[in-house]
Amino acid sequence: MSAVLVGAAPLRIADVVAVARHDATVELAPAALERMAHTRAVIERLADDAQPHYGVSTGFGALATTSIPPSDRRQLQRSLVRSHAASAGPAVEREVVRGTMLLRLATLATGRTGVRPIVAETYAALLNAGITPVVGEYGSLGCSGDLAPLAHCALAAMGEGEVDDASGARVPAATALEAAAIAPLVLEEKEGLALLNGTDGMLGMLALALHDLDALLLTADIAAALSVEGLAGTDGVFASDLQALRPHPGQAESARVMRGMLQDSPVIAGHRTTGFTRVQDAYSLRCAPQVHGAARDTAAYARQVADRELASAIDNPVVTLDDRVESNGNFHGAPIGYVLDFLAIAAADVASMSERRTDRFLDRSRSSGLPPFLAGDPGVDSGLMIAQYTQAGIVTELKRLAAPASVDSIPTSAMQEDHVSMGWTAARKLRRAIDGLSRVLAIEILAAARGIEMRAEGAAPATARVVEALRERVPGAGPDRYLAPEIQAATDLVVSGALLRAADATRFEKETS
């Protein structure tokens, strides 16, 4: 995997995923080092100025009117980082912390924060050495940046606090830095502040979520197509001319995928001979492109927001392009918080529709002739009865997680920070929602595959490939078995993308690039 170059152009979502999840190395562009050196000189001139400058020669937040003499300014920066490294709760995932550090590094590389190049070089060294600060789940309100999470990252760069090293062992930061031959940072004026004032945690989680949702929404289309076939539904409603009457791009893409998945299905071809026995399919089948498509369009808007944020320089105060140092409000996380909440709503609704399709398979009065609960020997066997209970429990949780975090605000810092975004909270619940959606879709695919096999009328080439890939890990119908490992195996196939690769559904996804 090639290194990600930071500071030459805005990072892409793929860059965030590569570094955060797959341990790609990072390199700082020479132009970024030059920009940082230039604006650092601006800050150093202000440090000698008799006029107070926020974060350079003053305290922070509600203490911004307190003047700090030059002899205390290193201590000011150290104290800021130490006091703000106040998270609590379970440690967040390694990929979240790495994504947070990468995005803070990207802002440093813009040259708009006024830090010395050594600060950015130290962050790059920590990432490349696989040193990951330990960050608790609670502590960010998503305004003035993700303060506590970013403070833990800065603390580690100072050689303090705890980290997980490249092997995953939890050790003191000083020990890990020494082993990696990284000198601990001694922060100068403004540098502690510049390391804390960013929306990097919530943005990193948004980037990872969008990457995952790209695959999951395509998987949802595949799952729905399998369900249409397994329930002997029709693909007529997915026709391109019908979809064009409501020209939402996501809807068109979802319908295109489902048509492709069902192409040459003997079950659907049979309708042309015997006639479609139902006047209309249920909404959970017929309206899948409309719901999945709305989720796709929501993700497309969220990607626009993410791309804008990836091109941003978030700090307060910030060094402008003409070398002014200005206070601003760009650290407020509202743009990110809103779309994080929006995506949680979409994930919950896609999962809810998936669960409804699964439920139809299990009800003999609605499954078009399949055995009750898809059981091998109904009565003796319960089949997939309780798998749907598991789905229902997850969907209920996803509906709770769809309640927006960004509408809440608790004033902090003696009412100086009197409106906050709660974007970090929105990001944390979206991660849980994506995990739940993965499991719900996996259970639908389990049911749909069993339904296709029990109908015994054959399958479309694309759906047959998905069933075959599933059967490499999960056997078909038979006497009841210990079901939890099979649900987990199906989930692993969803999350890894193995079922997507088997379907080769990307060829159905778009008519034009």
Would you kindly state where each structural domain of the chain is located, as residue ranges? 4-198, 205-312+346-509
123 is catalytic: no
- 412: which DSSP letter? B
Q: Which residue has the higher pLDDT, 512 or 358?
A: 358
The whole-number pLDDT of residue 156 equals 98
Q: Sorting pLDDT into bands at 50, 70 and 90, what band is 513? A: very low
Rg (CA), the chain: 26
CATH architecture assignment, domain 205-312+346-509 = Up-down Bundle (1.20)
Mean pLDDT throughout 46-65?
Answer: 71
Question: Using the 8-state DSSP alphabet, how is residue 234 labeled?
Answer: -
Please give the helix or strand (H or E) that residue 33 lies within, else none: helix 30-47
Quote the mean pLDDT of the chain.
93
> Using CA of residue 375, residue 381, residue 385, residue 387, what is the dihedral sign?
negative
pLDDT of residue 47: 79
Q: Does 66 have pLDDT greater than 80?
A: no
Altogether, the residues listed in the chain come to a count of 513
Determine the average pLDDT of the residues in 297-311: 98
Give me the DSSP letters along 448-481. HHHHHHHHTS---HHHHHHHHHHHTTS--SSS--
Most confident option among 32-36, 268-272, 410-414? 32-36
- The domain made up of 4-198 is a member of CATH 1.10.275.10: yes
Higher pLDDT, 475 or 509: 475
pLDDT value at residue 60: 67
Whether the per-residue pLDDT at 296 is higher than 90: the answer is: yes
The β-bridge partners of 5 are 27
With cut-offs at 50, 70 and 90, classify the pLDDT of residue 274: low
Q: What is the pLDDT of residue 512?
A: 33
Question: Is-contact 394 265, C-beta < 8 A?
Answer: no
Q: Is 56 helix (H, G, I), strand (E, B) or coil?
A: coil
Residue of 54, 283, 389, 482 marked active site: 54
What pLDDT band is residue 187 in, cutting at 50, 70 and 90? very high
Edge to edge, what strands does the sheet with 162-164 contain?
Answer: 132-133, 162-164, 170-172
CA-nearest of 266, 242, 216, 228 to 438 is 216
pLDDT at 483 over 60: yes
Q: Collapse the DSSP code of 411 into the 3-class scheme (helix H, G, I; strand E, B; otherwise coil) and give the result.
A: coil
